[in-house]
Amino acid sequence: MKKIIVTGAAGFIGSNFIKAIACSESVKNKYQFIVVDALTYAGVYESIEKEFKENSHLEFKKIDIRDSAALDNFSSEDISGIIHFAAESHVDNSIKNPNIFVETNVLGTLNLLNLALKLQKKNSDFRFLHVSTDEVYGSLKESDPAFSENHHIAPNSPYSASKASSDLLVRAYFETFKLNTVITRCSNNYGPFQFPEKLIPLMIQNAISNKSLPVYGDGKNIRDWIYVDDHNRGVWAAFTKGKSGEVYNFGGNSEKRNIDVVKDLLRILKKPESLISYVVDRLGHDWRYAMDASKALKELGWSPLVSFEEGLEKTVEWYLNNPAWIKLVSERMTK
C-alpha cells in the first residue's frame, strides 16, 4: 500500500478529505494516510476522531509544519506523496497578525518541500500536491473574465500573499530540483465542519441564535462557491492524474454576492432579514473572485457536481444536526 502524508487534515477541508476520499472503499484498500496536524485553534481532532477509530489505514501525528526537525523524522520512510492542506487561512487574522501566516504558510511549506526532496530520492513515484486558493490571483472587476491558471498573481491581503509565496516556492522546487509537484487553486469552500469564523457557518450560527449577522460594507462583493466534497474530488484527481509542474483551478460555477448568500441562509432557516447588520468593510477587500476550471475538466475529467442551492441546504442541515460540534468549537474560540 502506498503511504501518503496529509497535512492539516483536522481542519475544514482536510477533515472532509479524510471522510470522503481517504476512507472511500476505492482508496482505503490502496493507500495508507499519515495525518499531520498542529491542532491549532481551527484544527478540531474531534471532526475526524470517528474515522481514526474505525480505520486502520489512518495514522495521526501532532506535528507543526514549522518544526523541520519533527518533519525530518519521515525522511527515512517509504512515502509516495504529500497532500498539503495545512495553512493559516482567515484573512481578518492575517491583517491582525501577518507573522504567523508567513511562518506557517511560507516557512512551513518550505520545510515540507525540503522533506519532499528527500522522499523523492527514495521513491520515484513521489508527488507533492499543494492546496492553494483563488485569492492569490487578486481581485476581478465584474466585467473581467474568470481567473485561468495563466492569470498573473496579484495577492492583496497578508493571507493571499503568504499563499502566493508558497505557490512560488512549489514552482521553484519543480523548476530547480525537478520535484514532482502539482498546485491546486480553489474558490470559496463551504460545507460541514467549517470553523465558524468564515461567512457561511458564522451566519448560520448567528441566525440560529437570533444574533446579528454582520456583513462587510454593502455586501455586494462577489465570490464563487464550491462545495467541499467537489473540491476534494478535484484535489484527489490532481494528485493521481495531474501533470507534474501544473496548476489546476477548481470552482463551483456559483458566483454570488455575499449579501445574497446571507439572505439565502435566512430563507432556509426561516429567519428575518432584519437580523442583517452592515459593518465597516474589511481592509483591502477584494471585489470579485471567479474561477475558470476548464483545464481541470479537460485534463482531469473534473467538474463540480453539487449545485450551490443543494450544497447550501445540506450545509445548513448539518449545522442544525450537530449542535455539540458547534458548542465545542465556539468554546475554543472564546478561550
Domains (range + CATH), the chain: 2-194+227-252+284-306 (3.40.50.720)
Could you tell me the maximum CA-CA distance found in the chain, to the nearest angstrom? 60
Any catalytic annotation for residue 46? no
pLDDT of residue 335: 63
Taking the model in full, what pTM does it have?
0.96
Residues of the chain with pLDDT under 70: 334-335
Cell of 171: 514552482
What pLDDT score was predicted for residue 329?
86
Residue of 31, 137, 159, 173 marked active site: 159
Specify the pLDDT at position 290. Answer: 97
CA distance 16 to 314: 14
Contact 185, 297 (CB under 8 A): no
Q: Which of 135, 167, 224, 286 is catalytic?
A: 135
Residue 135 catalytic?
yes
What pLDDT shows up at residue 334?
67
- Is 167 annotated in the active site? no
Spatial separation of the C-alpha atoms in residues 155 and 139, rounded to whole Å: 8
Q: Which of 88, 134, 224, 286 is catalytic?
A: 134
Contact 134, 224 (CB under 8 A): yes
